[in-house]
Chain A
Amino acid sequence: MKELDSFIQTPFNDAAAFDLAEWYWDKKEYASALSFYLRVTECSKVDLMIYKSLLKAGLCLEKQGDRTHYVKGMYLHAISVLAKRPEAYFLLSRAYEYKKEWQESYTTAEIGISMCDFVLDELDGVEYPGKWGFLFEKSVVLWHMGRIKESIELSMYLLENIEMPELYETQVRKNIKFIWGTDNWSKPTYYKKGDNIRYKFNGIDKIDINHSQAFQDMFVLMALDGKVEGKYLEIGAYKPYEHSNTYLLEDKFNWKGVSLEINGPLVTWFNGKRKNQCLQRDATKANYLEILDSQNMGTDYDYLQLDCEPARNTFEALLLIPFDKYRFAVITYEHDWYIDVDKTMRDKSRKYLQMMGYKLIVPNISIDKENWFEDWWVHPDLISPKIMELLISKTENNSVKDYIFNYI
Chain B
Amino acid sequence: MAIQNLAKLVIDNGGKIYPLVFPTDKKTALFNPSILVKDNEILISIRHCQYTLYHTAGKFESRYGPLCYLNPENDLTLTTTNYLSNWNGKELVNPTLVDTSNFDVKPLWEFVGLEDARLVHWDNAVYLTGVRRDTETTGIGRMELSKIKMNKEVSRFRIPTPFNKASYCEKNWMPILDMPFHYVKWCNPVEIVKANINGDTEQVFLGDTILPITKDMRGGSQVIRIGDHRMCVIHETDYWRNTQGNKDATYRHRIILFDMDWNIIHRTDAFDFMQGMIEFCCGIAELNDKILLTFSYSDNAAFLLEITKDYFLKLVYEGIR
Q: Is the CB of B70 within 8 A of A70?
A: yes
Beta-carbon contact of A4 and B74 below 8 Å? no
- Tell whether A65 pairs with B21 under 8 Å between CB atoms, given A8-B8, A41-B58, A73-B63: no
Given contacts A32-B29, A67-B72, contact A38 B17 (CB under 8 A): no
Decide yes or no whether A34 CB sits under 8 A from chain B: yes
Question: Does A38 lie within 8 Å of B28, measured CB to CB?
Answer: no
How far does the Cβ of B2 sit from chain A's closest Cβ, in whole Å? Answer: 15
Write the nearest CB–CB distance from A100 to chain B, whole angstroms: 13
The reply to whether B27 and A69 form a contact with Cβ atoms under 8 Å apart is no
A267 at the interface (CB under 8 A from B): no
Q: Decide if A54 touches B60 in the complex (CB within 8 Å).
A: yes
Interface centre among A5, A8, A30, A36 (most CB of B within 10 A): A8
Q: A11-B275, A38-B55 are in contact. Are A32 and B21 (CB under 8 A)?
A: yes
Given the known A-B contacts A8-B17, A70-B62, are A34 and B54 also in contact in the complex, defined by CB atoms under 8 Å? yes
Contacting pair A31 B8 (CB below 8 A): no
Interface locus among B200-208, B227-235, B284-292, B297-305: B297-305
Interface check A268, CB cutoff 8 A: no
| Cβ–Cβ < 8 Å partners of A41 in chain B | 56, 58-60
Is there a chain A Cβ closer than 8 Å to B249's Cβ? no
User: Min CB distance, B61 to chain A, in Å?
Assistant: 9
A141 at the interface (CB under 8 A from B): no
Highest count of chain A CB atoms <10 Å: which of B57, B72, B298, B301: B301
Residues of A within 8 Å of B56, CB to CB, are: 38, 41-42
Q: How far is the CB of A18 from chain B (nearest CB, A)?
A: 14
Question: Is B89 in the interface zone, CB < 8 Å from A?
Answer: no
B73 within 8 A of A: yes
Q: Does A119 contact B (CB under 8 A)?
A: no
- Alpha-carbon separation in the docked complex, A47 to B129 (Å): 46
Q: Is B282 an interface residue (CB 8 A)?
A: no
B26 — nearest CB in chain A belongs to which residue?
Answer: A64
Tell me the smallest distance from the CB of B130 to a CB of chain A, in Å: 20
**Would A66 and B52 be within 8 Å (CB), given that A42-B58, A73-B62 are in contact?**
no
Does A128 count as interface, using CB distance less than 8 angstroms? no
A70-B54 contact in complex given A8-B274, A54-B60, C-beta closer than 8 Å: yes
Judge if A68 is at the interface, Cβ distance under 8 Å.
Answer: yes
Is B317 interfacial (CB 8 A cutoff)? no
Q: A4-B17, A64-B28, A66-B75 are in contact. Are A31 and B23 (CB under 8 A)?
A: no
Of all chain B residues, the one with the shortest Cβ separation from A23 is B19
Tell me which residues across on chain A come within 8 A of B19, comparing CB atoms: 1, 4, 24, 32
Q: Which of A11-35 contact B (CB under 8 A)?
A: 11-12, 24, 27-32, 34-35
CA of A31 to CA of B54, assembled, Å:
9
A331 interfacial contact with B, CB 8 Å: no
Interface of B is mostly: loop
Tell me if B17 and A11 are in contact (CB < 8 A): no
Contact with A along B56-93 (1 / 0, CB 8 A): 11111011000000111111000000000000000000
Q: Which residues of B contact A12 (CB under 8 A)?
A: 275
Distance in angstroms from A134 CB to nearest chain B CB is: 24
Asked if A34 meets B52 with Cβ closer than 8 Å, knowing A1-B18, A12-B275, the reply is yes
Chain A interfacial residues counted at CB < 8 A? 36
Q: Mark B1-39, 1 if CB is under 8 A from A, else 0.
A: 000010110010000011101010001111000000000
Q: Is A9's CB within 8 Å of the partner chain B?
A: yes
Closest to B9 in A: A8
Interface contact B72-A65, CB-CB below 8 Å:
yes
User: Distance (Å) between the CB of B52 and the closest chain A CB?
Assistant: 5
- Among A11, A32, A41, A64, max chain B CB count under 10 A is at A32
Instruction: Assess the B54–A38 pair: CB atoms within 8 A.
Output: yes
Closest to A44 in B: B58
Judged by a CB distance under 8 angstroms, whether A308 is at the interface is: no
Q: Which residues of B contact A70 (CB under 8 A)?
A: 54, 62-63, 70
Q: Which of B252-279 contact A (CB under 8 A)?
A: 274-276
* Contact present for B27 and A64 (CB under 8 Å): yes
Specify which of A31, A32, A66 is in contact with B73 (CB 8 Å cutoff). Answer: A66
Q: A8-B5, A32-B300 are in contact. List 6 more A-B contacts (CB 8 A).
A: A8-B7, A8-B274, A28-B27, A29-B27, A31-B53, A32-B301
Could you write out 21 A-B pairs with CB less than 8 Å apart? A1-B18, A7-B274, A8-B17, A24-B301, A27-B23, A28-B23, A29-B30, A30-B27, A31-B27, A31-B30, A31-B52, A35-B276, A41-B56, A41-B60, A64-B52, A66-B75, A67-B70, A67-B73, A68-B73, A69-B63, A73-B62
Q: What 4 pairs between A and B have smallest CB-CB spacing?
A: A42-B58, A66-B72, A32-B301, A31-B29
